[in-house]
Amino acid sequence: MSELSVKHLLGIKYLNEKDIQLIFETADQFKEVINRSIKKVPSLRDITIANIFFENSTRTRLSFELAEKRLSADIVNFSAAQSSVKKGETLIDTVNNILSMKVDMVVMRHPNPGAGIFLSKHVKASIVNAGDGAHEHPTQALLDSYSIREKLGGVAGKNVVIVGDILHSRVALSNIFALKLQGANVKVCGPKTLIPKHIESLGVTVETDLRKALNWCDVANMLRIQNERMDISYFPTTREYTQQFGVNKKLLDSLDKEIVIMHPGPINRGVEITSDVADSKQSIILNQVENGVAIRMAVIYLLASKIK
């Protein structure tokens, strides 16, 4: 039987192309399950999962919780804001206390890059990174590629542009790793101040002219400006950012071809994309969210098979 090459999901950087295909094929089966009237399978009745979130989340948190419930796992939810972390408890102590209650897997979102990698070296549980600072967001990249595969029939050879705040984006880095592994052509587009130096070393090209980037691509993945990670201004005003790097319907309709619009959420409507673009037939934003549940079911199921 096929299995993943890893026992944690810490980042796309640690996966290979076969891992991604296995996750997608497993997600295909779970997507069929969650579209049935009874959206549940008994696969993980013997597994307990802790969802520990040290940072805000809507989609990722609910999607993991639903994925775990649809697999019949037992779950506990931990929110740092209401926990003894506030009294000074360390991350390792916090997680080891949770694990002593017979927890098998930890899904963690943390503001510090590498928090999941650190944890995986110090605790006895399978760790799933649900976003670690500006580092990686592997399940987001998996659901993004899965959604491209669903919409366009495959990822290899497709032209994908990631637009916006590349510098602070874990979604951008994980997407670059995932798309490159699958043979897509990747461009990043945004203000020079929000493009990391030497990003070309990851096999991507840089374009600062949005119209050129959109005319080149099959898919545009529009990112949010991550003000919460900025301690200085990277562009003069939001209005000027939107004028240069925002997508509106007039721009979309004036392109040489019909492109697919993606966004990981949360959207700042009117900043990176206007509402009529977000809600247009070219947008697959809600398909991405729907696919997130099947992808997370696949990831949890495949990792759980390694601890059974």
Residue type, 252: L
Distance CA 67, CA 90 (A): 28
For residue 106, give both structure tokens.
């930890």
SS3 222: strand
Question: What is the nearest approach in angstroms of ligand CP to the Cβ of residue 262?
Answer: 11
Q: Which residues does 253 contact at the CB level (< 8 Å), separation at least 6? A: none
For residue 271, give both structure tokens.
């900043």
Residue 221's beta-bridge partner residues? 162, 262
Question: What is the nearest approach in angstroms of ligand CP to the Cβ of residue 43?
Answer: 24
Residue with the two structure tokens 């002593």:
100
Residue least distant from ligand CP (Cβ) = 60
Nearer to ligand CP, 65 or 218 (CB): 65
Phi, psi of 40 (to 5 degrees): -135, 145
Interface with ligand CP (CB under 6 A): 57-61, 131, 137, 140, 264-266
Q: How many other C-beta atoms lie within 10 A of the C-beta of residue 257?
A: 8
Q: Is 224 labelled a binding residue?
A: yes
Question: What is the nearest approach in angstroms of ligand CP to the Cβ of residue 111?
Answer: 12
Nearer to ligand CP, 140 or 291 (CB): 140
Q: Is 170 labelled a binding residue?
A: yes
Question: What is the nearest approach in angstroms of ligand CP to the Cβ of residue 165?
Answer: 14
Nearer to ligand CP, 145 or 185 (CB): 145
Nearer to ligand CP, 41 or 289 (CB): 289
Question: What is the nearest approach in angstroms of ligand CP to the Cβ of residue 134?
Answer: 13
Q: Is 238 labelled a binding residue?
A: no
Q: Is 59 labelled a binding residue?
A: yes
| CB 47, CB 21: distance < 8 Å | no
Nearer to ligand CP, 131 or 190 (CB): 131
Exposed, middle or buried by CB within 10 Å (0-12, 13-18, 19+), for 303?
buried
Terminal C-alpha separation, the chain: 14
Can you say which residues are annotated as belonging to the binding site? 59-60, 87, 109, 137, 140, 170, 224, 265-266
Can you say which residues are annotated as belonging to the binding site for L-aspartate? 87, 170, 224
Can you say which residues are annotated as belonging to the binding site for carbamoyl phosphate? 59-60, 109, 137, 140, 265-266
